[in-house]
Structure 1
Amino acid sequence: MLQLNVKNETSRLRAVVLGTAKNNGPTPKIDEAYDPKSLEHIKAGTYPVEEDMVKEMEAVAKVFEKYDVKVFRPEIIENCNQIFARDIAFVIDDVFVKANILPDRENELEAVQYVIDQIDPNKVIRPPEEAHIEGGDVMLWNDYIFIGTYRGEDYSDYIVARTNEAGVNYIKEKFPHKKVKSFDLNKSQTNPYDNALHLDCCFQPIGTDKAILHKEGFRDETEFEWLLNFFGKENCFIITKEEMYNMNSNIFSISEDVIISEKNFTRLNTWLREKGFTVEEVPYAEIAKQEGLLRCSTMPLIRD
């Protein structure tokens, strides 16, 4: 049996699900795009090709191997994008939460069923249909659970709005011992520079007391200010619109002092090293074209 344990974003990682880019399927048609960044690359003819994305993901797998992390990969589904393992499920404490994802991604969950089969069935839960919640919007920080949402009246008009108020309430109800704090995110179907697809596109805690933040990702500036004060200005790395677009906040912590980051994130990686982190750089720029990066393609199962 797998003894799940995830209480924050940065404790030493022992087991993780890493998505796969194999048999990724053809480039989507314009009307099949889930987000504005993919759309932009589909239109421009620069949408990433499978071979490049497989190479990028293998680079991450090698880093996990180096740090002796047990890695599970999804079973391959023909012509299916299975890169973003974070969307389909997430772990809180010792509970595996299946996400209510976009309906045509349901089979991605089936591809990790062999992992779910190794978990105590009493520890596997799924929100009711009306509660939308995806792993990219859920950030664990010890006593806190931070959740990205969209509170606009027009929620249902946005395919990029992935977690609703009912999803937030479901987590509150299931984890009453946690302080659940939600953040209203800016959404755009058309402009990737204005779209915080998930909370991890504009915020991520790192180390024991630091965070990466993007102010414009938040619809309510006081919520951004709350995070800034919570971590302390001197501990926050504030990213620009361009850096948000390139997914600078979507890196991934193997431990409190080791971070996997994209090799082109020069400003961020320099800052991280100055703060004493070990930065394992990988190429991930092709995968980033789908508005997701390192955190999106990993689903931690066990951290110390």
Structure 2
Amino acid sequence: MIYVESEFARLQTVVLAESEFGFPEVPRPEDLRFLTPEAREEVQQFRGRDHAEALPDVHHAWELEREALKRTLEKYGVKVLHPRKLLPEEKQAAGVDGYSNFFARDPFFTVGNSVVEGSMRFLHRRNEVLPIRAIMEQEVMPEDCHYVAVPRPAIAAPGDATLGPGPFLEGGDVLVLGKKVLVGNSGLASNALGARWLQKYLGHWGYDVEMTRLHPDILHLDCALGLIREGLMVICEDAFLDGVPSILRNWTSIPVDLSETGLLITNGLPLSSSVYITDPAFARIGEQVAAHGVTVEYIDFRISRSFGGSFRCSTQPLLRRD
């Protein structure tokens, strides 16, 4: 079965990211503002190199983080799927833009029984869905579900800092709450045209898609908001330019500061309404979550977080249903 009911319905089948990254030869500074200063410096230092070759010890530790997450997922009965590795020709075709196969959340997403291939804004992520296509063929195509793709983004004019009109739509910006779907828009990833396309597609089944504008230093909506269970969330209210979405205004909030969002403090992963994964660096958040009767699992994810993503970013569900 393919179905995602909400962000905190019981996770049953998930795609867990690989750990592959090629640094762009000419990084665009405007696209790095969501990273920590240390991460921005690393991108400049190792431009044009493969991460595994440039930093082999760090790369191995990064892979171990993903293995630790896999063990925890399987401990709770979750079926874990992996994208394949990038092919040599895919890395070569990326050219000076670099390449990635490191966050399964963004190249596609699932809403209800629809699997949607996204449209990525950053140039090094434009082909990130390709290593996931085998999963689509094996797991999605045989099921009674819908499988579509966002239109290919328009070609931008030379020097256009926005990278063109899109449409851009990335899974990290898409949060599902029953028939309500929130789509973030900070200018770094998804945009208004992407949100309009999603409403056009999902509206047929009674979904309401709401775009929410974000602070320009926020990469994705899930970097500012995490839905833990019905009525409970971890949130940076200062990240929402038009205020907290109305559907969430009566929820209990665990607040975080704007300065903490770049650390991925909101990017934990509910396995159900009663189990939540976060990093031990965020023990104060975990303690507040646990105070609401939720079991908290801790996994050190510091290297994954240095790339601008954490537990939610590293996973994309195909089946979340109570």
TM-score (norm 1): 0.85
Q: 1:76 to 1:225 in 2, by over 3 A?
A: closer
- 1:1-304 correspondence to structure 2 within 5 Å: 3-21=1-19, 24-25=20-21, 31=27, 34-36=31-33, 37=35, 40-43=38-41, 49-77=58-86, 80-101=99-120, 102-118=122-138, 119-120=140-141, 123-129=146-152, 130-150=166-186, 155=187, 161-176=188-203, 177-187=206-216, 195-220=217-242, 223-224=243-244, 226=246, 229-231=249-251, 235-304=252-321
Provide the rounded CA distance (Å) in 2 between the counterparts of 1:94 and 1:109.
Answer: 19
Q: Which amino acid aligns with 1:165?
A: A
Q: Which amino acid aligns with 2:190?
A: T
Q: Which amino acid aligns with 1:254?
A: L
Partners of 1:19 and 1:297 within 8 A in 2 = yes
Percent identity for Structure 1 against Structure 2 = 25
The answer for the alignment partner of 1:191 in structure 2 is none
Q: 1:105 to 1:26 in 2, by over 3 A?
A: closer
Aligned residues: 279
Q: CA deviation at 1:35?
A: 2.5
Q: CA deviation at 1:245?
A: 2.3
SS of alignment partner, residue 128 of structure 2: helix
Provide the rounded CA distance (Å) in 1 between the counterparts of 2:134 and 2:39.
Answer: 34
Provide the rounded CA distance (Å) in 2 between the counterparts of 1:26 and 1:148.
Answer: 26
Provide the rounded CA distance (Å) in 2 between the counterparts of 1:230 and 1:253.
Answer: 20
SS of alignment partner, residue 296 of structure 1: coil
Partners of 1:147 and 1:199 within 8 A in 2 = yes
Q: Which amino acid aligns with 1:171?
A: L
The one-character-per-residue Cα deviations of 1:77-105 (angstroms, maximum 9, x if unpaired) are 15653221111000011111000113442
Partners of 1:30 and 1:39 within 8 A in 2 = no
Provide the rounded CA distance (Å) in 2 between the counterparts of 1:266 and 1:15.
Answer: 27
Provide the rounded CA distance (Å) in 1 between the counterparts of 2:245 and 2:18.
Answer: 36
Provide the rounded CA distance (Å) in 2 between the counterparts of 1:93 and 1:225.
Answer: 21
The one-character-per-residue Cα deviations of 1:237-265 (angstroms, maximum 9, x if unpaired) are 01123432211110011111101111110
SS of alignment partner, residue 318 of structure 2: strand
The one-character-per-residue Cα deviations of 1:208-264 (angstroms, maximum 9, x if unpaired) are 2211110221222xx327365242xxx110112343221111001111110111111
Provide the rounded CA distance (Å) in 2 between the counterparts of 1:288 and 1:109.
Answer: 21
> How much is the aligned-residue C-alpha RMSD, in angstroms?
2.3
Partners of 2:105 and 2:314 within 8 A in 1 = yes
The one-character-per-residue Cα deviations of 1:130-185 (angstroms, maximum 9, x if unpaired) are 321000000000121011014xxxx5xxxxx2111111111111111012221101
Q: 1:225 to 1:97 in 2, by over 3 A?
A: closer
Q: Which runs of 4+ in 1 moved over 6 A?
A: 45-48
Q: 1:228 to 1:25 in 2, by over 3 A?
A: closer
Provide the rounded CA distance (Å) in 2 between the counterparts of 1:212 and 1:112.
Answer: 30
The one-character-per-residue Cα deviations of 1:17-36 (angstroms, maximum 9, x if unpaired) are 00011xx3555556267432
Q: 1:125 to 1:25 in 2, by over 3 A?
A: closer
Provide the rounded CA distance (Å) in 2 between the counterparts of 1:127 and 1:228.
Answer: 27
Structure 1 window deviating more from structure 2 (42-51 vs 57-66): it is 42-51
Runs of 5+ unmatched residues, structure 2: 92-98, 153-165
SS of alignment partner, residue 319 of structure 2: strand
